[in-house]
Amino acid sequence: MKNKISYLLIFLIFATQLLAQVGSVKNTINSFPYQHAAEAQSAITSMHTWGNGQWKELVHLLDNDSLKLKPTYALNAYVNDASLNAALKQQLAENLAAVYGSAKTFYAREFIIKQLALLGDDAAVKLLSSLLKNESFGGNAARALASIHSAASKQALTKALKTASGENAKHIQAALDNFNFKLPAIKIASTEKQVAKTNAQKLLDLQDRMEKASTRLEKRNILYEASFIPGFASFMLVSKSLEDETINKEAALILARLALSDKNIRGPEVRASLEKAIGLIHGVNYPAHGLGASAKMSDIVGVDSPLLVSKLKQHLINLPYDNGFINLFNGKDLTGWKGLVMNPIARAKMSDSALKAAEQKANEKMKNDWIAKDGLLVFTGHGDNLATEKKYADFEMYVDWKITEKGDAGIYLRGSPQVQIWDTSRREVGAQVGSGGLYNNIKNQSKPLVVADNKIGDWNNFHIIMKGAQVTVYLNGVLVTDNITLENFWDRKSPIFPKEQIELQAHGTYVAYRNIYIREIPSDEKISLSEEEKNDGFVSLFDGTNLDSWTGNTAGYLVEEGAVVVNPDKGSGGNLYTKEEYANFIYRFEFQLTPGANNGIGVHAPLEGDAAYVGMEIQVLDTEDEKYKNPPIQPYQAHGSLYGVIPAKRGFLKPTGEWNQEEIMVKGTQIKVTLNGTVITEGDYAEASKNGTVDHREHPGLLRTTGHLGFLGHGDVLRFKNMRVKVLEEDKKAKKKKR
């Protein structure tokens, strides 16, 4: 009898603990899926402490059709959060792999495999490898190993392929193909096999399929395939679906994933697409089924929308405005393009008035030769080249093109011929070598490395990179021109022009273009002062390459692409100061704001203490951002104000993302701030504060007569460049006298 009672007590204790555990898990995930970000973060923090029992209980809930919604969203949210932390990512992968065996339903098992793929950690490789022979989950396991994309996962796939058969062998081979596709290195007669598996070719095929797709299911499956192709070109293809209400939410999610995984996806079109995606993602609730035979879109949905929106908003703040891709053809008209006037050497010899008259005449003729039709830029077959209005130095360019039988065209780089386009059947002119070569080279290689053209009537894609005189061309994803010097066709004795227009060649046959994007590559050269400023006594404080003239929180201010970027992750609120001190001076610099950004320019500042008070601070602020309207900021807080002392005029900042030019002059107790050519602050700060400051705070720094210049961070991202200073004569005399 006693034994029975003991067993009963043990059972009751165990049951009580189990019920408490179940209750704990249910309470933690109760706010999903319709949660606020703060509630979600609280739940995720609780999940950090879960042991094996709690994870098993979550799996048990996933097995229950009537209860699986909340755990689905909770686990996906936790995966998104953990993926940003290496230790958490590994721990979660280990936890999920350990409890996988307790899953009973197809849904739960498939969902766990997909989360392991998103985590991308080697801790899941052993489990996934064991599933490669499973008829139900072999395909999912193969795709997950490809997503992990490590040496261990590749080795597992390679080993499994040796003994695999049937559909599983196809899945494993496809995963390996996607894992590490290698471009062919030799010329071959048949080009279809050569380009079939490149990402560029896949995107061309997907765009053709999307244009023909008539059902939502077809479109969603196309988006799903595009989601696995990284890079800018894939992003822009998916972004077109933001206008399709039947699939725009799926497109928004894919764009977020692509952008968050590649910081080089940037530019005004990217920013506009991501801003639109944010509105579509917020509050999204997707089922993890319902795609019929494909049943694949669940790989990329079910995300925790508030967290993803939060990450995307921060990504947009961090995303540089400069050196991103811009669209050279809007699909509607010839905005940004002009007619051709002679060649670069001849144009340089023309007077401004003569060139302007010639361009007007060329532009009138251009309207009949080049047309925008059905989203394509089309050459009608008669007329002259089409040129960009802007001139380019180093750049990276994407462009799709299509020709007809016997077609002949090309792309001029910096006004010079040319990356060749032609019908490879035209053996009488040597076209059998293929497109993409530098046709007019004589000393340097002119022929492409390999034939990579698609058949006549199909679309092709160029990816062209030009740095200095060196040109690299990928045709349909295949390297055809490898860092070859482009010769100056117009003057063989001179190097290629350092900066000139890009032209689409007119050669008497029909040619169509689309998806024309270009990105300027920033120069690695040091930034130097103008001769005028040198002669005027200015000294550079930043040459675009280093912070040798600065001290303080150098970890929180990074040098990127010729600018100083405030990096809050490396020291939020930190200050950066000049090593030298200045009394009377003129300080010039350029700055670029991000939405709501807050910083300041320290004047007469010591290296310690709050520079706004122990020194002086000229406010740097995105004054017109919505966050400063309710409640409204004080006049002395507006951009350009001597903080707390002299208010600045408002309304002279350029739009967020554009570079502003500012000059600060301090002479005695006189201060003047000029923003983009307009004086916005001017006065005597001693006089302005003699009866107390307007912010009613103590400002002992107003009594200082010298100190450091500085950037006074407040935890926001923004950029500075072209900093230079001129010491005024009074200051020079004072220094000499002191010696």
For residue range 166-204, list pLDDT tens digits in order. Answer: 888 888 888 887 765 443 333 433 444 444 579 999 999
Longest CA–CA separation in the chain, Å:
114
pLDDT at 351: 94
CATH number at residue 33: 1.25.40
Q: What is the pLDDT of residues 446-501, one digit of tens each?
A: 999 999 999 999 999 999 999 999 999 999 999 999 999 999 999 999 999 999 99
pLDDT at 14: 43
Percent of the chain with pLDDT over 70: 88
Q: Are residues 402 and 335 in the same domain?
A: yes
Q: Are residues 656 and 689 in the same domain?
A: yes
Q: Are residues 726 and 656 in the same domain?
A: yes
Closest by CA to 587, choosing from 577, 598, 599, 596, is 577
Tell me phi and psi for residue 99, to 5 degrees. -100, 0
Closest by CA to 260, choosing from 313, 199, 333, 201, is 313
- Residue 494 tokens read as 């001179």
- Residue 352 tokens read as 């401004």
Percent of the chain with pLDDT over 90: 61
The answer to whether residues 469 and 485 touch, using CB atoms and an 8 Å cutoff, is: yes
* Average pLDDT score over the chain: 87
Confidence at 75, pLDDT banded by 50, 70, 90: confident
731/545: higher pLDDT: 545
Q: Is residue 197 in some structural domain?
A: no
Q: Are residues 574 and 709 in the same domain?
A: yes
Confidence at 509, pLDDT banded by 50, 70, 90: confident
Question: What letter would DSSP give residue 714?
Answer: -
Q: Are residues 127 and 262 in the same domain?
A: no
pLDDT at 13: 40
682/192: higher pLDDT: 682
Q: Is residue 525 in some structural domain?
A: no
Q: Are residues 161 and 248 in the same domain?
A: no
Q: Are residues 602 and 580 in the same domain?
A: yes
Sequential DSSP letters for 642-665:
BTTTB----S-PPPTTSEEEEEEE
pLDDT at 114: 86
- Residue 471 tokens read as 């040109």
Provide mean pLDDT across the span 413-417.
96
Q: Are residues 472 and 586 in the same domain?
A: no
For residues 406 and 381, give the distance between their C-alpha atoms in angstroms, rounded to a whole number: 12
Q: Which of 9-13, 222-226, 250-254, 666-670 bottoms out in mean pLDDT, i.e. has the lowest?
A: 9-13
For residues 221 and 294, give the distance between their C-alpha atoms in angstroms, rounded to a whole number: 7
pLDDT above 80 for 5:
no
Is beta strand 563-566 parallel, antiparallel or unpaired with respect to 719-727? antiparallel
pLDDT at 180: 59
The answer to whether residues 592 and 563 touch, using CB atoms and an 8 Å cutoff, is: yes
686/25: higher pLDDT: 686
Q: What is the pLDDT of residues 619-656, one digit of tens each?
A: 999 999 999 988 899 999 999 999 999 999 999 999 99
Q: Is residue 230 in some structural domain?
A: no
Q: Are residues 508 and 592 in the same domain?
A: no
Q: What is the pLDDT of residues 390-403, one digit of tens each?
A: 999 999 999 999 99
Confidence at 305, pLDDT banded by 50, 70, 90: confident
Q: Is residue 144 in some structural domain?
A: yes
Sequential DSSP letters for 343-377:
-HHHHHTS-HHHHHHHHHHHHHHHHHHEEEETTEE
703/74: higher pLDDT: 703
Sequential DSSP letters for 474-541:
EETTEEEEEEEEPP-TT-TTSPPPSSEEEEEPP-SS-EEEEEEEEEEPPP-SPP---HHHHHHT-EES
Closest by CA to 48, choosing from 11, 95, 14, is 95
Structurally, the chain folds into a number of domains equal to 4
Confidence at 570, pLDDT banded by 50, 70, 90: low
- Cα four-point dihedral sign 429, 431, 433, 435: positive
Q: Is residue 231 in some structural domain?
A: no
Question: What letter would DSSP give residue 698?
Answer: -
pLDDT above 70 for 247:
yes
Residue where a domain terminates, one of 520, 546, 567: 520
pLDDT above 70 for 129:
yes
Confidence at 308, pLDDT banded by 50, 70, 90: confident
Q: Are residues 441 and 565 in the same domain?
A: no
Q: Is residue 292 in some structural domain?
A: yes
Q: Is residue 190 in some structural domain?
A: no
Rounded to a whole number of angstroms, the distance between the first and last alpha carbons of the chain is 102
Confidence at 288, pLDDT banded by 50, 70, 90: very low
Residues spanned by the domain of 289: 215-224+241-318
List Cα–Cα distances, 262 to 249, 390, 486, in angstroms.
20, 27, 30
Residue where a domain terminates, one of 491, 520, 549: 520
pLDDT above 70 for 334:
yes
Q: Are residues 170 and 39 in the same domain?
A: yes
- Residue 375 tokens read as 């989203």
For residues 192 and 476, give the distance between their C-alpha atoms in angstroms, rounded to a whole number: 11
Q: Is residue 207 in some structural domain?
A: no
CATH number at residue 555: 2.60.120.560
The answer to whether residues 200 and 208 touch, using CB atoms and an 8 Å cutoff, is: no
**Residue tagged 């009866």 (tokens):** 691
Please report, as a single letter, which amino acid is at residue 498. P
Provide mean pLDDT across the span 148-169.
87
Provide mean pLDDT across the span 592-621.
95
Residues sharing a CB contact under 8 Å with residue 85, sequence separation 6 or more, in sequence order:
none
Q: What is the pLDDT of residues 351-384, one digit of tens each?
A: 999 999 999 999 998 888 899 999 999 998 888 9
Q: Are residues 332 and 352 in the same domain?
A: yes
**Residue tagged 């929308």 (tokens):** 305
pLDDT at 147: 80
Provide mean pLDDT across the span 31-41.
62
- Residue 52 tokens read as 């094996």
